[in-house]
Amino acid sequence: MLKPAFQVYSEAAHHHHRRRQDTLLRPLAITKHFIHGGLIGRVVLPCFRHSTTPAKGQRKGVPPGRFVPGSIRAAAPSTTAESTMIVKAVVTVTPPTSGAFYEIGLNRAFDDISDLLGKTLLLELVSSHLDPSTGREKQTIKGYARKAGHADKEQKYECEFKVGEDFGEVGAILVENEHHKEMHLKEVVLHGLPGGSPLTLSCSSWICSKFDNPRKRVFFTNKSYLPSETPEGLKRLREEELKELRGNGQGERKTYDRVYDYDVYNDIGDPDSSQDKKRPVLGGN
C-alpha cells in the first residue's frame, strides 16, 4: 500500500511564506485526468486576498473603498463671480429702395431667413479702456440684432448684451450688415448703462453688405477728444478709420469706399494752356 508523501517546511521557511501571503497565496494545484489520452494535467490557479495591513492614509479597521461619514469636505461656493448687467440696444434703420431683381432673387430669400433667425445685424460693444492684466484692448461683447417693428418707413432692431462691471465705458460700436443689400443706419441707442441715461450713437451712414466688404463699420460715441486725450482702447480704431477715409490714392475705387477726395477749384487761371497761368493754391497742397 502506497503511503502519501508529506512536504516538510522548516520554521524559517514557514515564516517567510506567511509574510508573502499578505498579497499572494501559494498557487493551488488541481490534478485531473484529461478525457483523451489518459494523461494527467495540472492546472494552477492563483488565489488572492486583501492585505490586512492598512494602506498609507487609510483609517485603521476600515475596508478599502468603503464610505466613511465625514471623509468628504464640502467646498465653499466661489464668491468671485462677476456681476453683469443687461444692456439693450435699439437700432433704427432705413431700408433701401429695392430693385425688381432683388425682390424676386435668392438674395432676398436669404435676407428673409436671416431676419427670421434674428441675425440681421451683428453689433459689438467696444470698451474705452485697456485690459489692466494684459495691457491690450478688451474683448468686444457681441450680439445679433433682431427685428422689433417698423414705423414711418423705419425699421427697428433690438439686441441685448451681458456687460460685466469691469468692462468700463463704452466708447464705440462695431456694426456688420448680414444682409446681401446695403441699408442706411440712422442711430443706435443703448439702454441700461451705468448712470441711467441712454447713450445715443448717431450714425447716419450706409452700411454695405458683409458679402461686398467684410470690414466692419465703427461708430464712436458723441464725445470729442483731443488726440493726446484719446482713450487707449480707441486709439487703434480711430487711426484705422482715419486711414480708411484718407485712402492711399492707388487702386480702383469701389462702391463701398468712403474716401474723401480733395481737388483744386481754379476757374480763374488757364493751367491747361500754360503752366505759367496756373494760380498758386492757398493754404498749402
198 in a structural domain = yes
Task: Report pLDDT digits (tens) over 219-235.
Answer: 999 888 888 899 999 99
Residue 245 confidence (pLDDT): 87
Q: Are 223 and 200 in contact (CB under 8 A)?
A: no
Asked if 193 and 130 sit in the same domain, the reply is yes
* pLDDT over 70 percentage in the chain: 58
Whether 53 and 64 have beta carbons less than 8 Å apart is answered as no
Confidence at 40, pLDDT banded by 50, 70, 90: very low
In 3D space, the residue among 263, 217, 222 whose CA is nearest the CA of residue 240 turns out to be 217
Q: Among 65-74, 196-205, 227-236, whose mean pLDDT is lowest?
A: 65-74
Same domain, 216 and 96: yes
**Domain ranges, residue 23:** 11-45
90 shares a domain with 38? no
User: Quick one: pLDDT band at residue 282, thresholds 50, 70, 90?
Assistant: low
pLDDT (average), residues 189-212: 90
If one counts the domains in the chain, the total is 2
- 245 falls within a domain: no
CATH assignment at residue 207: 2.60.60.20
pTM of the shown model = 0.60
Element (H, E) at 41: strand 40-45
Residues 19 and 97 in one domain: no
Whether residue 96 sits in one domain with residue 31: no
Q: Which residue type, as a one-letter code, is found at position 1?
A: M
**Integer Cα distance of 46 and 24 in angstroms:** 8
101 and 41 together in one domain: no
Is 259 a domain residue? no
Distances (CA, A) of 282 to 51, 273, 279, 285: 102, 21, 9, 8
- Please determine, for residue 112, whether its predicted confidence score (pLDDT) is greater than 80: no
| Same domain for 94 and 29 | no
Verify that 127 and 40 share a domain, yes or no.
Answer: no
Give the least confident one: 20-24, 116-120, 185-189, 244-248: 20-24
Handedness of CA 270, 274, 280, 285 (dihedral sign): positive
**Is residue 166 assigned to a domain?**
yes
**pLDDT cut 90: percent of the chain above it:** 30
Q: How does pLDDT run across 120-170, given as a tens digit for each residue?
A: 789 999 999 999 999 999 999 999 998 888 777 888 999 999 999 899 999
Grid cell for residue 264: 483744386
| 63 vs 93, residue with greater confidence | 93
Q: Residue 102: what pLDDT?
A: 47
In a domain, 234, yes or no: no
* Domain assignment present for 271: no
Same domain, 88 and 196: yes
**Over 90: is that where the pLDDT of 271 sits?**
no
Which amino acid would we find at residue 158?
E
Q: Is residue 76 part of a domain?
A: no
Domain membership of residue 246 (yes or no) is: no
Same domain, 109 and 222: yes
Which of 196, 211, 226 is the endpoint of a domain? Answer: 226
